[in-house]
Structure 1
Amino acid sequence: MKPTHLQTKPQYSAFGRSWMFDPEITFLNHGAFGACPIPILEKQHQFRQQLEQQTFHFFVREYEALLDQARQELACFVGANPEELVFVPNATTGINAVLRSLPFSEQDELLTTNHEYNACRNVLEFVAERTNAKIIVADIPFP
């Protein structure tokens, strides 16, 4: 006999229906392998079509302008200067780039939580070991 909480199918909101998830699964791990919402998948498909139809034109004439436009929109959203934003493939790459570029010393403390993603925690350990900075872990109860 299945546990009671698994006997009914989940009811998705309009937001929840924006993904292609199996309705029998409750997906909680966007951090490691985050799924894309359907509108994003559709836009990716459009970009792939542009790329495949005119590869040279896309990379030489369109790609950088599209990145600049995306950077500008993101900057407006987060209240930042678009000239100071860069896109990275994932959080681990971003954390690596930032932490390894800063001049930490033994007087510095690197603050994280006990929910830290392990790959990012590894970067903290790497930087702390080489610079003698101290890692401080804030314990946040779950849930």
Structure 2
Amino acid sequence: MTTITPTIRVQCEDFDQQAEIDRMTKGRHDVGAVVTFTGLCRGESGRLEALELEHYPGMAEAEITRIATLAIERFSLLGLTAIHRYGTIATGENIVLVVAASPHRQAAFDGANFVMDFLKTSAPFWKKEHGRDGKAGDWISAKDADDRARDKWQG
């Protein structure tokens, strides 16, 4: 059996979703489903100008790799890519991309969902809002709903 190694990147620059799908599926005839999730910076009803994202270099990549490897094993994925941006990200811009490939759709959906639920709560990233009024907000705390989403995968 071939070991699947996830593609993990934490980067400042934007990503190209289609290029990532193509990279994962080109020449592959065993992939029957590809599920993608792209997280965007919300404008919060016009209140928000941008998000500032910081991460713990090295540890962020290691934690995302750990999460992705668990997803590959748990859902028998054929490929998994997770890209998370850092820096100042304007409203409407990409923040995160997860691409999961499998022979069948449910495994790809579950794999992508699993990665996002754990990434939101376990990967060392911090967000600060920057308002349209020019004021920087506080660092955003984790939400209980994110913990509940992660916890549904336990057991």
Q: How high is the TM-score relative to the length of structure 1?
A: 0.20
Q: Which has the higher strand share?
A: 2
Q: Which has the higher helix share?
A: 1
The structure with higher relative contact order (CA 8 Å, sep 6+) is 2
Q: How high is the TM-score relative to the length of structure 2?
A: 0.19
